[in-house]
Amino acid sequence: MILLLASFYIISATPFVVDAFNDNKDLILRELGVTGKYADVSMGAIVAGLIFFLVISAITSVITIYASIILGQLFSGHRILGAVVSYFALTTVVSVISFAVMAIYGLFSDTFLIASSSAPPADFNFIAYMIDLLKVTTVLSVAVDVVLYILSYYIMKKKINLI
């Protein structure tokens, strides 16, 4: 993740790109629909939010793999196959729950589908949409982390007797 961010910075921080962005900043922000409360969001705040989200996502990935391995130990015969099946089952359940939560919050609404077409509506704010999406996704990731950690701890203590 660090290499990905560093390479993106190296590509986008060239003088040509920075000058082009500064010359066309108003047009770019208007095309992205940046208005309202997120119009003054600084680049530092966006980068800090993305780094925080990347750290949470990395922790979620590790805990998901860890929980899958522990669930695989509950299978009597093929434990490795059980771990792989557990991983796919966990990620499928988390994906379905994430989709349901995002649909409830309206992040998969017709507004986004219309806005992603060639002519977005005038009231669509891309930055606000992305910030709301990152907030919901971060909360879901933390919730998944907590649930999988508690599940893993319980299985290791009560079923496998490793703790």
Q: Please give the Cα distance from 100 to 36 (Å, whole number).
A: 28
- What does the block give as tokens for 30? 């208007």
Q: Number of C-alpha atoms within 13 angstroms, CB side, residue 86? A: 22
User: Model confidence over 16-72: pLDDT tens digits?
Assistant: 877 887 788 777 767 766 655 666 666 667 778 888 888 899 999 999 999 999 999
Q: What is the pTM of this model?
A: 0.72
* pLDDT for 152: 92
Classify residue 141 as exposed, middle or buried by CB count within 10 Å of its CB (0-12, 13-18, 19+).
buried
Structure token pair of residue 144: 């998944």
